[in-house]
């Protein structure tokens, strides 16, 4: 072996640089640094995960020469697995949802992997969903190993054993806050655990896209209705086994537009050639730093993958414009525009502890069939006509009980900045849309409100 050379590409995983942001976060008192995981050989931090998953499976005898690795992946875990598998002589089959960029699919095929595409707009338990198709392929493929990044403890462990100690060593422990997007939760759970063990008071901040269910779940413990969004790799419509939400101190919400505009700024102003979830994580970190005001903290943001796979989306003006992500006026406007135009602006809400009788009176008085329920000013759930009816039929018209047991989560939450475009499919899933600004309920949107608004735009 020649001096200075690495034995193979696996030895080039990790040791990514940490770089200070100089322009996009110049207005905050804290310093924001980024960990450039997009510089890994497979193009993302998932190289570390893939390596740890494969080594763990080999140790446990789950992988033998000629085995086929099967994974439901949005691309990056696939690239990492394909790379390590290529060196170790395993075959790979990847199952991907159809919203993923074509570049990601082609990159996996380049490594010799087989890629199966599944529809995004189906429930996770639908036989066509990528979770179910994966399970079927695992059953039907002989000598297969399901790497299962959503439930495999070797995923967060990769970050606990590799990413986090590396960051800690390089920064000599001067770090105060770690910020990462939340997908499988591997990054945030593994790194978060390590940093918290190292430093009391260390803050772990998760970033979640609007449409994903993590944010509301962390805030209220309720599984609200997820809906689709464009940023890839972060946010979920279920709770993966690899996500440890207890490790998270704060959760920041971002929308597609701010993620993509920040991604473009990171490339143009900082020269960091990163993908959309990196823009999301930095946008979330800046919001967090803004909340800190004059306090100074050393904040580190993990940048998961590179811009390469998103050139025909985030970096294509035509794609950005047609989805309303460029600064030009979006013809349909935002939720704030809809609320401003709504006829009945005052929010009608019930409160935890109220009796069924009161709430039925309230709903009759205002002619509404569902009502948000507040707990000390914060949204705690939804109550709808059908739940009241079912309860009364079952309990022979009992009306003096509290509504607390009947509160459900059949709603989606958005912010005033959410674009109306994004609400397109929301009412197929959710009964009501609740608008939250800094966690306060500032409006509710029903189907008829959206119809009224779209009709007025058309006129
Ligand atoms: C581009 C990208 N960003 C962020 C994430 C989220 O990381 P994690 O799964 O560790 O939560 C992923 C995960 O697939 C990803 O592919």
**Pocket of ligand 1 contains residue 234 by CB under 6 Å:** yes
Which pLDDT belongs to residue 330?
75
| pLDDT reading at 425 higher than 90 | no
Q: Which of 74, 159, 234 to mutate to test the pocket of ligand 1 (most atoms within 8 A of CB)?
A: 234
Strands 440-445 and 18-20: unpaired
Active site residues: 46
Burial 232-252 (b: 16+ CB within 10 A, else e): bbbbbbeebebbbbebbebbb
| pLDDT reading at 424 higher than 80 | no
Long-range Cβ pairs for the range 445-450 (8 Å, 24+) = 445/335, 445/338, 445/339, 445/342, 446/368, 446/370, 449/338, 449/342, 450/338, 450/420, 450/423
Q: What is the mean pLDDT of the chain?
A: 93
Give the chain's domains with CATH numbers: 15-43+155-322 (3.40.50.1100), 46-146 (3.40.50.1100), 335-458 (3.10.580.10)
Report the nearest atom of ligand 1 relative to the CA of 77. 14
Helix 76-88 × helix 102-110 angle, to 10° = 10
**Strand spans (E) along 17-56:** 18-20, 31-36
Burial of 170 (0-12, 13-18, 19+ CB in 10 A): middle
d(CA 92, CA 89): 10
| pLDDT reading at 7 higher than 90 | yes
Report the nearest atom of ligand 1 relative to the CA of 275. 1
* Predicted TM-score of the model (pTM): 0.90
d(CA 348, CA 368): 9
Residue with CA nearest ligand 1 atom 15: 233
Over residues 327-369, the pLDDT tens digits come to: 677 788 899 999 999 877 788 999 999 999 999 999 999 988 9
* Phi, psi (degrees; rounded to nearest 5) at 152: -80, 115
Which pLDDT belongs to residue 74?
66
Determine the distance separating the centroid of ligand 1 and the alpha carbon of 6, expressed in angstroms: 27
Q: Which of 75, 147, 149, 184 to mutate to test the pocket of ligand 1 (most atoms within 8 A of CB)?
A: 184
Question: Within its chain, how far is the Cα of 406 from the centroid?
Answer: 29
| Band (71; pLDDT cuts 50, 70, 90) | very high
**Pocket of ligand 1 contains residue 74 by CB under 6 Å:** yes
Residue with CA nearest ligand 1 atom 7: 183
Residue with CA nearest ligand 1 atom 16: 233
Determine the distance separating the centroid of ligand 1 and the alpha carbon of 262, expressed in angstroms: 17
């Amino acid at each position: 072996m020649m001096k200075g050379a690495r034995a193979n590409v696996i030895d080039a995983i990790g040791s990514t640089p940490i770089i200070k942001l100089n322009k996009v976060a110049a207005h905050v008192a804290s310093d924001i640094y980024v960990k450039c995981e997009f510089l890994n050989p497979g193009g993302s931090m998932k190289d570390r995960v893939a390596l740890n998953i494969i080594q763990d499976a080999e140790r446990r005898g789950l992988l033998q020469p000629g085995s086929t690795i099967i994974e439901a992946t949005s691309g990056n875990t696939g690239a990492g697995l394909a790379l390590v598998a290529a060196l170790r002589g395993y075959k790979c089959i990847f199952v991907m949802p159809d919203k993923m960029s074509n570049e990601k699919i082609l990159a996996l095929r380049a490594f010799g992997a087989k890629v199966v595409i599944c529809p995004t707009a189906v429930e996770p338990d639908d036989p066509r969903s990528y979770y179910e198709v994966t399970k079927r392929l695992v059953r039907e493929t002989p000598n297969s190993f399901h790497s299962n990044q959503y439930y495999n403890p070797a995923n967060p462990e990769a970050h606990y054993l590799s990413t986090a100690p590396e960051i800690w060593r390089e920064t000599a422990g001067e770090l105060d806050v770690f910020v990462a997007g939340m997908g499988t939760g591997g990054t945030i759970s593994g790194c978060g655990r390590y940093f918290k063990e190292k430093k009391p008071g260390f803050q772990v901040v998760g970033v979640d896209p609007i449409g994903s269910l993590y944010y509301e779940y962390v805030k209220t413990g309720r599984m609200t209705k997820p809906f689709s969004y464009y940023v890839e790799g972060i946010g979920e419509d279920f709770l993966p086994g690899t996500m440890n939400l207890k490790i998270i101190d704060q959760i920041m919400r971002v929308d597609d537009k701010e993620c993509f505009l920040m991604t473009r700024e990171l490339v143009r102003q900082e020269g960091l050639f990163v993908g959309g979830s990196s823009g999301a994580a930095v946008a979330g970190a800046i919001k967090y730093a803004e909340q800190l005001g004059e306090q100074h903290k050393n904040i580190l943001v993990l940048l998961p993958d590179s811009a390469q796979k998103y050139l025909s989306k985030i970096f294509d003006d035509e794609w950005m414009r047609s989805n309303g992500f460029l600064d030009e006026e979006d013809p349909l406007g935002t939720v704030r525009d809809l609320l401003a135009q709504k006829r009945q602006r005052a929010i009608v809400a019930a409160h935890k502890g109220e009796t069924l009788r009161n709430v039925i009176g309230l709903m009759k008085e205002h002619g509404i069939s569902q009502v948000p329920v507040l707990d000390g000013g914060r949204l705690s759930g939804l109550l709808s006509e059908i739940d009241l009816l079912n309860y009364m039929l079952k309990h022979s018209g009992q009306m003096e009980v509290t509504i607390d047991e009947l509160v459900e989560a059949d709603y989606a939450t958005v912010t005033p900045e959410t674009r109306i475009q994004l609400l397109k499919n929301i009412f197929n899933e959710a009964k009501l849309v609740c608008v939250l600004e800094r966690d306060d309920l500032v409006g509710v949107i029903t189907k008829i409100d959206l119809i009224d608004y779209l009709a007025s735009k058309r006129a």
